[in-house]
Chains A and B, each alone.
Chain A
Amino acid sequence: MALLEVDALQTHFRTPDGINRAVDGVSFHVNAGETLAIVGESGCGKSVTAMSILRLIPEPPGKIAGAIRFNGKNLLEASDKEMRAIRGNEISMIFQEPMTSLNPVLTVGRQIGETLRLHQGMSAQAAEDRAVEMLNLVGIPEAKRRVKEYPHQLSGGMRQRVMIAIALACNPKLLIADEPTTALDVTIQAQILDLMRDLKHRVGAAIVLITHDLGVVAEVAERVVVMYAGRKVEEAPVHALFNKPRHPYTQGLLGSVPKLGSSLTGEATRLAEIPGLVPSLKQKIPGCVFASRCAHATDLCTAVAPALEEKAPGHVAACHYALREGALAA
């Protein structure tokens, strides 16, 4: 049994001008100790997927359907109390915005210790001692002094390290990292990624890593889910995805990306620009969601939505023309 199974997840938002289908039928799984990357352009529903797993979506206007099974238990049916016992304890999350994700009026030590006191019943003193250990672990010098400081006294990179310390304090089984390095300088990005990889080996948590950065994916992920307009359009082991992307969207994304294993630092490894706009999520699209931007689109594509098909072992894609082996037929 997989650690996390996301099954036909639908997260819709009611807005004044119609229903926003931010996530529309996405399924994937994460095995214990594994790193799964989710990639896709901005606005394709990655963050909403991540927040849906922890049920952090405001309901209303949001509405989550489908199933999210964690250790076999459907979180969408869990009580608020059960969810609170999971959040920050068994599943924790790191956000994109290190500058604003820490509470400005509480000390760093308190914010790390809080989850320990809450989930593990530690005393205030024990929690603070452990907070110092955690700061050491995430590579913050002078941890003893730093625990008493406030977030505004730390740099962006330091703050993200603190977020990682908070996330890992209770030894979670799953860590969801939503673009943890996007807001940071390139050199700091590399440091934070190194730290996450290092800690992953030590802590043994599974990671869902959401990112724009295909270079990051190549370095740290084992499997990759590619999302487009609220759907999963391709999923493959990382080597297969980089060597033989099946979906035209993935091929477009990979257009300008260096080969697998290239250095993380320096080179721009952001997603390639694909001409055209992401379709509005407020309209139901009858055919392929990518048809409006796809160079290979045909009448079939605009009329019939392609199903996710296994093109090679463990490699699925949703495209009428993606062959089982090789490139596109059309």
Chain B
Amino acid sequence: MFAYIVRRVLATIPVMAIVALFVFSLLYIAPGDPAAVIAGDQATPDDVERIRASLGLDRPYLVRFGAWVWDILRGDLGVSIFTNLPVSTMIQQRIEPTLSLMIVTLILAVSIAVPMGVVAAWRQGTWIDRAVMGFAVLGFSVPVFVVGYVLAYFFALEWDLLPVQGYTPFARGFWPWLENLILPSIALGSVYIALIARITRATMLEVLQQDYIRTARAKGLNQSGILFLHALKNAAVPIITVIGIGIALLIGGAVVTESVFAIPGLGRLTVDAILRRDYPVIQGVVLLFSFVYVLVNLAIDLAYTLFDPRIRY
């Protein structure tokens, strides 16, 4: 098992290298002279020249890439063209809201969607099942920003139950922090909930047909023991897989959600950076998101073994 973890961690290195190469090349894929691209429309030829020098464009491509990677490994993601602050500092300032939003969404989505899917499978064909499936279709088809505005309109503006927008740091208390995250999490999580609920239902329907469920019943177990222990543990692998795939959805959705709810997180940072063509910031953020995604997938692979003893490495 330990050997497997080591091997699996090592295997992420080539993946991250390819991601890094892609991120590094972003600037050069864009049409035109990278220095001019970075400098923007109002730059003087002097500005362009300065940037060209700072990028080291006179050196060969792979050498520049190597130097860039070496900097990153030492925690240096470069300097923002717009603010002149180190990118790593800018990310540090913005990471808490985004991380909070993701974690609250993840917990909220899983704890809503899994029981929903389980109950829908158990009560297959009843109105409960139909309601869950109806919700799932809705969750898929309504974009995050629509859900966000509708939620904000009713819960914040009409009924005044929750804040309209903004973010309160965790350091100022759990409830103030959570209060601000509830609506964004539901908006961001709706697709995710729909996805997890559907796969949970489908997998559970299959599992509930199995002979060992009949055995569990014949042993005198009650319904919740059958559903949540005997059946759900068998359904875990596909569910966890979808939870992992869904993290990519969350990363994309966070950008939109942060805009709708005016959350000063990485999503906003990304949008602003793109609008200003602040390449070092874009590269830093994309690299970070990719790294998180690779880590999540690693964690999921390891989680499989917890739930299914037949999976061996």
A residues near B (Cβ < 8 Å) are 54, 56, 83-89, 92-93, 95, 97, 100-106, 114-115, 118-119, 150, 152, 163, 166
Contact = CB atoms under 8 A, between A and B. Distances in A.
Given A88-B219, A104-B234, A118-B219, 6 more contacts: A56-B214, A83-B220, A84-B220, A100-B211, A103-B216, A105-B310
B211 A95 contact: yes
10 contacts: A92-B218, A92-B219, A93-B218, A95-B214, A95-B215, A100-B211, A100-B212, A103-B216, A104-B308, A118-B219
A115 B222 CA distance: 12
A114 B211 CA distance: 17
Interface residues of B, number: 21
Contacts of A56: 214, 217-218
Contacts, number: 72
B217 A101 contact: no
Nearest to B221: A118
Contact of A104 (B216, B229, B310): B310
Interface in B211-241: 211-212, 214-222, 229-230, 233-234, 236
Nearest to A84: B220
Given A104-B310, A150-B309, A87 B234 contact: no
A18 B83 CA distance: 76
Given A95-B211, A97-B211, A100-B210, A105 B233 contact: yes
B211 A115 contact: no
Contacts of A89: 220
B309 A118 contact: no
A115 to B, nearest CB: 5
A187 B307 CA distance: 35
Q: Among B210, B211, B218, B236, find the residue whose CB has the most chain A CB atoms closer than 10 A.
A: B218
Given A100-B211, A100-B212, A105 B307 contact: yes
Nearest to B229: A106
A184 to B, nearest CB: 15
A103 B219 contact: no
Contact of A106 (B210, B222, B233, B236): B233
Contacts of B222: 84
Interface string B1-31: 0000000000000000000000000000000
Nearest to B217: A56
Nearest to A83: B220
A87 B211 contact: no
Contacts of B229: 106
Contacts of B211: 95, 97, 100-101
A114 B219 contact: yes
Contacts of B230: 103, 106
Contact of A54 (B218, B233, B308, B309): B218
B212 A101 contact: yes
B212 A166 contact: no
Contacts of A97: 211
A160 B283 CA distance: 59
B218 A84 contact: no
Contact of A166 (B214, B219, B308): B219
A14 to B, nearest CB: 14
Nearest to B214: A56
Contacts of A87: 217-220
B309 A85 contact: no
